[in-house]
Amino acid sequence: MNLPDLRVDGRRLLARIDALARIGAIDGGGSCRLALTDDDGRGRDQVVAWMREQGLVVSVDAIGNLFGVRGGTDDLPPVMTGSHIDTVRTGGRYDGILGVLAGLEVMQVLDDAGVRTRRPLVVGVFTNEEGARFAPDMLGSLVYVGGMPLAQALDARAIDGPRLGDELQRIGYAGAAPVGALRPAAFVELHIEQGPVLDLDGVTIGAVEDLQGISWQELTITGQSNHAGTTPMRMRHDAGYAACAVATFVRRMAREMGAGQVATVGNIQLHPNLINVIAARATLTVDLRNTDETLLKRAEAWLAEFLATLARDEGVEIGSRVLARFEPVVFDAAVVRRIETVAGRLDLRHRRMTSGAGHDAQMLARICPAAMIFVPSVKGISHNPAEHTQPDDLCAGANVLLQTLVELANDKEV
């Protein structure tokens, strides 16, 4: 079989995507498998079962990252692919899952064709990529590349209370392998775009050349609970009003800054959260992102100024805790070019682009040449059960991944 003619089996890939989506299934066709919950554990069990069926050597490291290794002919550093299978609470069926299952599909195609690559191939499944239950996001790959001490990560607290290390133990994925033991020669991640660019352009493949910086913080606003009916407006210290003022400010700031600045208040909790009580306390999260680190820092500074003025004017205290802070990342130009060349050879419309979302590839880029392949998200919808990518596009992305991984794995000099 001529390697460039190898193609994935779309039916098998889609069947596995459907099977995994049924674990933690929610209305609308999506899944909820928050990191290290029972459903995430069941999802992991299913992926490990598929890895074992395919004869891969499976290892689990101390932060719960899963690796399926397919040996090569030469004892060289492996080429790695993969992503995550944890989801947000309103997750779709492709975010992260496509990268993991397409990686397994690539290995199955090589088995079926009796092909052994020079370098070993590895599929990684990284812990807590979403950061929805434990902060920061991309936690498993961050620890894997040495960006966060293991002990600190194991002590991370879930938004519902449990300690990360205890949850790993509870679902049986506190692995024995030391983190970072597998040092890849290169890393390529296939992922849905989760934005509207490819869909609007009618382009099938995104060769992702960079990824925007991320600033996550949790704000705690302490006011004074009081009677909603008797307290004159001038005497209020209303944490609920202050939280909403932050949400409207960051929206206005992003619009005024333009230049790709985005801002989201995605989580607001009020206490005591009652109709007739002025809120004593508000806890909220702010997500700021920009491809330009200088502009991202400017957005953080403007928010800090606004918070100081708001605290003074409303007579509340505002505390801030950094949940995640990652600078923009530029992917490896040679790997990006290789993705473009493969897409061109497969007659697929392709373009270079930036990732608006965070991904495990941004962490792997700290230790090896890394890049990403995007496929279109219909109407740019993601983190929503309605998340959809056309089957032909899923297969096109998996075929670009297949050919890119085979080329990298047979190249002595990556």
- Footprint on this chain of Mn ion (rule: CB under 5 A): 95-96
Q: Which does 96 bind (CB under 5 to 8 A by kind): ligand HGY, Mn ion, none?
A: Mn ion
Pull the structure tokens for residue 126: 């990284």
Instruction: State the residue for tokens 């997500």.
Output: 287
Residue from 199, 153, 22, 110 nearest 398 by CA: 110
Nearer to ligand HGY, 307 or 363 (CB): 363
**Residues 6 or more apart from 181 whose CB is under 8 A from it?**
59, 61
The region, left, alpha or beta by phi > 0 then psi within -120 to 50, assigned to residue 55 is left
357 binds ligand HGY (CB under 6 A): yes
**Residues 6 or more apart from 152 whose CB is under 8 A from it?**
none
Among 61, 86, 105, 137, binds ligand HGY (CB under 6 A): 137
Q: Which does 137 bind (CB under 5 to 8 A by kind): Mn ion, ligand HGY, none?
A: ligand HGY
Nearer to Mn ion, 90 or 283 (CB): 90
156 binds ligand HGY (CB under 6 A): no
358 binds ligand HGY (CB under 6 A): yes
C-alpha atoms less than 13 angstroms from C-alpha of 212 in its C-beta half-sphere: 22
Nearer to ligand HGY, 130 or 340 (CB): 130
Q: How far apart are CA 296 and CA 260, in angstroms?
A: 10
Amino acid letter at 284? Answer: L
193 binds ligand HGY (CB under 6 A): no
Minimal distance, residue 324 CB to ligand HGY, in Å: 8
Minimal distance, residue 351 CB to Mn ion, in Å: 20
Residue from 192, 218, 187, 12 nearest 87 by CA: 192
Q: Which residues are registered as beta bridge partners of 31? A: 25, 91
Nearer to ligand HGY, 78 or 328 (CB): 328
3-class SS at 353?
A: strand
The site for ligand HGY, by CB under 6 A, has a size of 6
Among 24, 92, 103, 131, binds ligand HGY (CB under 6 A): 131
Footprint of ligand HGY on 32-71 (CB under 6 A): none
List of residues contacting ligand HGY (CB under 6 A): 129-131, 137, 357-358
